[in-house]
Chain A
Amino acid sequence: MYKIQYYISIVFFLFSLTFYASSEHDSISMPKGENPHQEAKSLRDEIKEDIQHHLKDSHDWTFFHSKIDGSGFTIPLPVILIDNGLHVFMSSQFHHGESIVESNGNYYKLYHNKIYKTDAQGTLNLDEHHHPTNAKPWDFSITKSVVVIILAALLMLWMFSSLAKSYKKNNGIATGFGRFLEPLVLFVRDEIAIPNIGEKHYKRYLNYLLTIFFFVWLVNLLGLTPFGINVTGNIAVTFALAILTYLITTFTAKKDYWKHIFWMPGVPTLMKIILAPIELLGTIIKPFSLMIRLYANMTAGHVVLMSILALIFIFKSWVGGPLSFGLAFALSLLELLVAALQAYIFTMLSALYFGMAVEEHEHEHPHEEAHAEHH
């Protein structure tokens, strides 16, 4: 069953690569076809651009797109801008970056998946790194990743609320797909939350841990489907998740946690002074590492998988197809593991940090503990 799915997924990847649109990259202010560089662009650069394009979030959801005649299947998504008032319009108005959109007297242009404020002609001032220096409005668009996040959220809500309902229907025993989900829920509780946080406090964090585990896993898995999804390979997403872990750790931390950061017991006073900034920095590095780990793993997976698929176009012979297929198939299996593993690591480490925050060092100062317990 999985093999068939992955075979299909790879075929879809091939399609999405074959017809991937990147016309907006080279037609900044000139109509299509008049760009002299377009023909000269090498295949390798084109592939590189395609991969770059895939890794980034986008304002519409392109399933496939032909570079030759511009046909394809793209779902336009709403663009929401805050720039002296609210500007809402559909992303189809950009025509993949070819058109300038006028909204309430302001002109906007899509360039490399970012929206810039321009004049009526759509002039972009590029600096020496080819980055536009134009002003960027606050962009709260419902992008492809936001749509996928919403879909994942709805999917989770459907899966787990149906699991919750199945208990009532079947006298306390899960039915159907719930039979698969329940052990996973129990795994998070028994193998992640309880061992890391402890029997006493784990219940407070369980909602967050369960949500983050299944969310990350599901979104990672969706990233393996052939719909060009890459949510967890987006630093803004992993940053949001990591900052939640950081905030929860910080705001639920007990006195003991802060004491161990600012005035480490059991070491000489000089060491206490040296340790305090290191420990304080550590509290930020921990969630930072969470953010980077998930982002880097998913990004790397997508880059490698797409690069392998691109071998077909590099080889352009009967060697390329089977080779690419074999490698991509093996790597897809690996990515399947990585998808679950990264979700597990993220949840596990979050639980570990929560555990540190609520840890009580009873053996070190029992008197204080008794006092704290009293309150």
Chain B
Amino acid sequence: MEKLINDFSYGLFFWQLVLFIGLIFVLKKYAWKPILNAVNEREEGIKNALAQAEQARKEMLNLTADNERILKEARNEREELLKEARSIRENMIETAKNEAQTEAHKLMEKAKESIETEKLAAIADLKKQVAVLSVDIAEKLMKDQLASKDAQVKLIDTMLKDVKLN
């Protein structure tokens, strides 16, 4: 201990103190401050970048979810539209069918009616012709039968017999 104290160099102590304090201040200005600032900046940058990446990932997830949702919605909508179209088509067919049926029915009715009319007309015509024919025939027959005077009288008689005077 005595040797240590005896050997203690004041000059070296002085220089060490002065130089070291100087070194602290010089390094602070030219090294530690810029180094730590740069490192801090970088660390902040990394932190921010990570946060941003996380944010982007979340956004991406949201976006995917949104996309999925939109897709689903679109699919649903398409389905809906298809369904609607189908129903519309069915309706249309139905209506068309119905209309056609009614139309057909109408036509049929009309046809029937006209056929009936025609038929009646034909029958009437036929009746007329038959009447004419029968009159003709009758005329001819009459002409033949009533060629004689006797026959005419006879007929008149018969006829008269038939007529009942009321």
* A152-180 interface bits toward B, Cβ cutoff 8 Å, 1 = contact, 0 = none: 01001100110111011000110000000
Q: Which residues 92-140 of B have a CB within 8 angstroms of A?
A: none
> Contacts A173-B42, A244-B20 given: A139-B35 contact, CB under 8 Å?
no
Contact A236 B20 (CB under 8 A): no
> Contacts A157-B31, A160-B31, A186-B39 given: A236-B13 contact, CB under 8 Å?
yes
The residue of chain A having its C-beta at the shortest distance from the C-beta of B41 within the complex is A172
Kindly state the separation between the CA atoms of A160 and B13 in the bound complex, as whole angstroms.
25
Q: Which residues 1-53 of B have a CB within 8 angstroms of A?
A: 4, 6-17, 19-24, 26-28, 30-36, 38-39, 41-42, 45
Nearest Cβ on chain A to B46's Cβ, whole angstroms = 10
Q: Which residues of A contact B34 (CB under 8 A)?
A: 164-165, 167-168
Q: Which residues of A contact B39 (CB under 8 A)?
A: 182, 185-186
Nearest Cβ on chain B to A161's Cβ, whole angstroms = 4
Contact A241 B12 (CB under 8 A): no
- Per the CB 8 Å criterion, the residue count for chain B at the interface is 34
Contact B9 A211 (CB under 8 A): no
**Interface status of A239 (Cβ within 8 A of chain B):** yes
Q: Is the interface of A mostly helix, strand, loop or mixed?
A: helix
Contact B38 A172 (CB under 8 A): yes
Nearest Cβ on chain A to B23's Cβ, whole angstroms = 5
> Contacts A167-B35, A206-B36 given: A240-B27 contact, CB under 8 Å?
no
**Interface status of A215 (Cβ within 8 A of chain B):** yes
Nearest Cβ on chain A to B156's Cβ, whole angstroms = 148
**Interface status of A237 (Cβ within 8 A of chain B):** yes
Nearest Cβ on chain B to A185's Cβ, whole angstroms = 6
Question: Contact partner of B27 among A149, A150, A210, CB < 8 A?
Answer: A210
**Interface status of A143 (Cβ within 8 A of chain B):** yes
Q: Is the interface of B mostly helix, strand, loop or mixed?
A: helix
Kindly state the separation between the CA atoms of A189 and B35 in the bound complex, as whole angstroms.
12
Contact B9 A234 (CB under 8 A): yes
Question: Contact partner of B32 among A206, A215, A236, A244, CB < 8 A?
Answer: A206
Q: Which residues of A contact B7 (CB under 8 A)?
A: 56, 235
Q: Which residues of B contact A141 (CB under 8 A)?
A: 11
Contact B32 A143 (CB under 8 A): no
- Per the CB 8 Å criterion, the residue count for chain A at the interface is 46
Q: Which residues of B contact A212 (CB under 8 A)?
A: 20
Contact B23 A157 (CB under 8 A): yes
Question: Contact partner of B26 among A157, A234, A241, CB < 8 A?
Answer: A157
Kindly state the separation between the CA atoms of A145 and B6 in the bound complex, as whole angstroms.
18
Nearest Cβ on chain A to B105's Cβ, whole angstroms = 90
The residue of chain B having its C-beta at the shortest distance from the C-beta of A235 within the complex is B4
* A222-263 interface bits toward B, Cβ cutoff 8 Å, 1 = contact, 0 = none: 000000000000111101110110000000000000000000
> Contacts A157-B30, A207-B24, A241-B20 given: A57-B12 contact, CB under 8 Å?
yes
The residue of chain B having its C-beta at the shortest distance from the C-beta of A186 within the complex is B39
> Contacts A149-B16, A164-B34, A186-B39 given: A207-B27 contact, CB under 8 Å?
yes
**Interface status of A361 (Cβ within 8 A of chain B):** no
Q: Which residues of B contact A333 (CB under 8 A)?
A: none
Kindly state the separation between the CA atoms of A167 and B30 in the bound complex, as whole angstroms.
13
What would 23 A/B residue contacts be, using CB atoms closer than 8 Å?
A: A139-B10, A140-B10, A143-B12, A146-B16, A153-B20, A157-B27, A157-B31, A164-B30, A164-B38, A167-B35, A167-B38, A172-B38, A173-B42, A186-B39, A206-B32, A207-B27, A207-B32, A211-B20, A215-B23, A234-B12, A236-B10, A241-B16, A243-B17
**5 more CB-based (< 8 A) A-B contacts, given A140-B11, A157-B30:** A163-B31, A167-B34, A172-B38, A189-B36, A211-B20
Which chain A residues have a beta carbon within 8 Å of chain B's beta carbons? 56-57, 80, 131, 138-143, 145-146, 149-150, 153, 156-157, 160-161, 163-165, 167-168, 172-173, 182, 185-186, 189, 206-208, 210-212, 215, 234-237, 239-241, 243-244
